[in-house]
Amino acid sequence: MIEHVYRRAAAARGVAGVVVATDDARIAQAVEAFGGAAVMTRADHVSGTDRIAEVAAGLPCDLVVNVQGDEPLLAAEAIEEAVAPLAADAGIPMGTLGGALDEGDAADPNVVKAVVDQQGFALYFSRSPIPYRRDASAPRQSVYRHIGLYVYRRECLLHLASLRPTPLERAESLEQLRALEHGYRIRVVGTAHRSVSVDTPEDLERVRRLAAGGRLT
């Protein structure tokens, strides 16, 4: 699975290099076996943000893209969509992706929901159904299914990693809430590209079926 994620990230236009940050020697060996680059990190990081910050501290770059290893169906074009706003506007510190929220997803705690303002910046992320729809016919245009990808300005990433986990971050177990709690704006880019985050054994079986059908090419 990690090889599929790696190769899709490498195929995105504008990506200068791909590195797998891990504290597991087995993952590093698997990456090196298919010709990829891996960097061993400390084992005490509380989130992916903190782990990639350790690697980014030694990289001469402006933007850092965190593609999580549990997104084997993430399209290279979706990565490009997430990067585009930060590449165009130096005032945006952080970005991510949002997809269509399927019927039934709202109540699933494994599906993270994102609500955005009129400019497309995140208001909140939650595992709970948000917003509360007092009127069941209210539109869902401002609600997304969050996709596990982040784009950071390097200085924003390093600053976030220097901060302690915040109350909402700990309550929801969502690392992006640390950024919101410290006043960073997160641009949420809506994408039509579908992805399957492997969060449960059922998700893994679904990805395996898609792989058998040729979807992981």
Of the candidate CATH numbers 2.40.50.100, 3.90.550.10, 3.40.50.2300, 3.30.750.24, the domain formed by 2-212 belongs to: 3.90.550.10
Q: What is the pLDDT of residues 157-208, one digit of tens each?
A: 999 999 999 999 999 999 999 999 999 999 999 999 877 667 677 777 876 7
Q: Where do the structural domains in the chain lie, given as residue ranges?
A: 2-212
Q: What is the pLDDT of residues 48-78, one digit of tens each?
A: 889 999 999 999 999 999 998 877 778 899 9
Residue 213: predicted pLDDT: 65
Pick 5 or 150 by higher pLDDT. 150
State yes or no: pLDDT of 152 exceeds 50: yes
Residue 90: predicted pLDDT: 97
The CA distances from residue 144 to 52, 64, 106, 161, in Å, are 25, 23, 10, 26
CB-count exposure of residue 143 (10 Å: 0-12, 13-18, 19+) = buried
Residue 4: predicted pLDDT: 82
Pick 137 or 144 by higher pLDDT. 144
Structure tokens at 133: 């729809």
Q: What is the pLDDT of residues 73-114, one digit of tens each?
A: 788 999 999 999 999 999 999 999 999 988 788 889 989 999
Place of tokens 């200068």: 16
State yes or no: pLDDT of 217 exceeds 70: no
pTM of the model: 0.87
HSE, side-chain direction, 13 A CA sphere, residue 52: 24
Distance CA 88, CA 85 (A): 5
Task: Mark residue 14 as left, alpha or beta (left: phi above 0; alpha: psi -120 to 50; beta: remaining).
Answer: left
Structure tokens at 20: 């797998």
State yes or no: pLDDT of 215 exceeds 70: no
Average pLDDT in the 136-149 region?
A: 81
